[in-house]
Amino acid sequence: MSAKLEYGGGVVRVRFSGEIDHHAASLLRASIDSAIAQKRPKTLILDFGAVSFMDSSGIGLVMGRYKLMQAIGGAIRVENLSPGAYKVMRLAGLDRLGELKQKEVS
């Protein structure tokens, strides 16, 4: 599990890779939150393209960041979800809070 952060043009993009569970989520949170606090981006993009597994811990991870972005008047986008991760996020109704995009099937 890791998260690579990029910033440019008012956008913070977080590229997750590996497995996101309760064990990993607590470690990922801190670096994302400090980037939001420092850069105050207009948009936060959470890119799940390289995530091989996600359980309901991913919901808390997205929800928590959604609240932070809302507090600074920004938006959140969730991209490249695998079918499994998309299913978990839909179950939580996260598609109503922001944009949820599935991975393109090539």
Which of 61, 76, 81, 97 is in the footprint of another protein by CB under 8 A? 61
Question: Is 22 one of the binding residues for another protein (CB under 8 A)?
Answer: yes
Question: Is 63 one of the binding residues for another protein (CB under 8 A)?
Answer: yes
Whole-angstrom Cα distance, residue 45 to residue 12?
6
Classify the phi-psi angles of 102: left when phi > 0, otherwise alpha if psi is within -120 to 50, otherwise beta: beta
Under the rule (CB under 8 A), what is the footprint of another protein? Answer: 19, 21-23, 25, 29, 53-57, 59-61, 63-64, 82-84, 87-88, 91-92
